[in-house]
Amino acid sequence: MNGHANGNGKLLARRPSAPMMPPMMVSAPGKVIVFGEHAVVHGKKAIAAAISLRSYLLVTFLSKTRRSVSLRFPDVGLSHSWNIDDLPWAAFAAPGKKKYYYDLVTSLDEELVEALQPHIQSISPKKPEQIRKIHQASASAFLYLFLSLGSQKSPPCIYTLRSTIPIGAGLGSSASIAVCLATALLLQIRALSGPHEDQPSAESELQIQRINHWAFVAECAIHGNPSGVDNTVSSGGKAVLFQRTDYAAPPRVEPLRSFPELPLLLVDTRQSRSTSAEVAKVATLKKTHPIIADNILNSIHDVTESAHNLITRDDFELNAESLQHLGELITINHGLLVSLGVSHPKLERIRALIDHTGIGWTKLTGAGGGGCAITIVKPTEDDEVPRPPVDLENTLIDEGFQTFHTTLAGDGVGVLWPAVLHNGLEEEGGTEIDQEKFLNAEGTEGVETLVGVSVNLGNVNAVREGWRFWRP
């Protein structure tokens, strides 16, 4: 019965509880380094671009009586809840420690990291060490932001994350989850305006910067010492020119708004590699063959410069000639990376198979030694979205590689609030994306079909109704 008896035995109607907020969803892309990996470690320029593989974070609100905050990250098998009142709010609110959303935080506070440890160490105690580390990294990123931006009065919520980005393949999966978490938490405390269609460019830029700063903090919790390029591309989308000559100073980041939305074939070698080991190989080469190594790094810098000059020309347009120019630079950049010793037989096999078909230009991306190769695919004559031949894809898959079709230089972080989508098959007014639907979507394709930010309209991709982006 909906009520309770008063002293006279009469039923009093229960006061209706405040309606719960509808679920919200945010999404952020992964990235590839298009030109300049490794050279960027030595102060040269690099160009990185967003890809259409993305992470999706659903925030569902619970009744205020629940007092819990939960992470459901099924891609890595993480499921954990904390009691909000047990978290170390006092440490994060202490004088000199309290941070506000507009503060510029550039590194983690070691004392605050320490205060989180009891709440991190208790995660997934029965899982193998390697898995536990992954869980703890994701949870640290979340908790550091949750306690920095929220308060003990933060509403009880479940944060459910699914991603279409392979993890640990050099495609910025950690940065994309960092951007999702930062955006959701900033939106929850109303520290962001928009996104809306007629938002002035400067205002959009400011929101992206705010998200990017906090995403960098989350990346630090996952990685230790990130350069910041991944979270920058993931928040703002499109592409950037990135250079860090002085590690004590912020990097130079120039947004490349005219970077063409190129279709890309991405092939994952599934060969695990260590970024630091590959970076160390180049450092060794610099010691043993300093002049030669420097010449190679300078040549990579020149490749990046050449691409940058082309893309930023006033009269730049993507046509057969400019694509050919960019393609040649891709080929040269790969050759230089081979000379640095950071390729891998599996990357060379992928390149040989693709080169043989003549469908485009291929290079390794990221640290190399495994990880992924990217191919810029030449457009076909009938102007359809270029796709590699089925035979090639089958061969790649038969040889144990994984292929992804993606587009370079898409949107950055997006918001769907309320999390209601029009998928064509649902009840009137759209489908509310609840946790069950989201968790039950099958594989990465299921996630894309259910909540993906874009829909394919014949030959072109368009933004799916409901999703909104900050577009400076």
Ligand X SMILES: C[C@@](O)(CCO)CC(=O)[O-]
Active site residues: 230
Tokens at residue 220, please? 């630090």
| Interaction of residue 322 with ligand X, rule CB under 6 A | no
Q: Which of ligand ATP, ligand X, none sits in contact with 279, Cβ below 5 to 8 A by type? A: ligand X
Q: Which of residues 270-299 bind ligand X (CB under 6 A)?
A: 275, 279
| Interaction of residue 331 with ligand X, rule CB under 6 A | no
Question: Which runs of consecutive H residues, i.e. helices, occur in 47-159?
Answer: 89-93, 110-121, 129-149
**Helix (H), strand (E) at residue 242:** strand 239-243
Nearer to ligand X, 275 or 435 (CB): 275
Residues 25/188, Cβ–Cβ less than 8 Å: no
Residue 3 CB partners (closer than 8 Å, separation 6+): 11, 12, 13, 14
Judge if the upstream peptide bond of residue 418 is cis by omega within 30 degrees of 0. Answer: yes
Q: Which of ligand X, ligand ATP, none sits in contact with 33, Cβ below 5 to 8 A by type? A: ligand X
Which stretch, 34-42, 79-87, 260-268, 356-364, contacts ligand X (CB under 6 A)? Answer: 34-42
Nearer to ligand X, 123 or 374 (CB): 374
Q: Which of ligand X, ligand ATP, none sits in contact with 277, Cβ below 5 to 8 A by type? A: none
| Interaction of residue 268 with ligand X, rule CB under 6 A | no
- The amino acid sitting at 319 is N
Kind of pairing, strands 252-255 and 239-243?
antiparallel
Residues 366/372, Cβ–Cβ less than 8 Å: yes
Q: Which of ligand ATP, ligand X, none sits in contact with 47, Cβ below 5 to 8 A by type? A: none
In the numeric block, the tokens 């592409």 are attached to 239
**Residues in contact with ligand X, shown as a per-residue x/- string from 193 to 232 under the rule CB under 6 A:** ----------------------------------x-----
Question: What is the smallest separation between the CB atom of 463 and ligand ATP, expressed in angstroms?
Answer: 23
Q: Which residues sit opposite 11 in a β-bridge?
A: 5
The residues that touch ligand ATP, with contacts defined as CB under 6 A, are 73, 75-76, 134, 137-138, 161, 163, 167-174, 177, 222-223, 230, 275, 366
Residues 187/417, Cβ–Cβ less than 8 Å: yes
Tokens at residue 459, please? 């030959």
Q: Which of ligand X, ligand ATP, none sits in contact with 177, Cβ below 5 to 8 A by type? A: ligand ATP
Would you tell me the crossing angle of helices 275-288 and 290-311 to the nearest 10 degrees? 120
Question: Which runs of consecutive H residues, i.e. helices, occur in 244-289?
Answer: 275-288
Out of 170, 228, 327, 370, which residue is the one contacting ligand X (CB under 6 A)? 170
Nearer to ligand X, 162 or 346 (CB): 346
In the complex, the residues that contact ligand X under the rule CB under 6 A are 33, 37-38, 40-41, 170, 227, 275, 279, 366-367
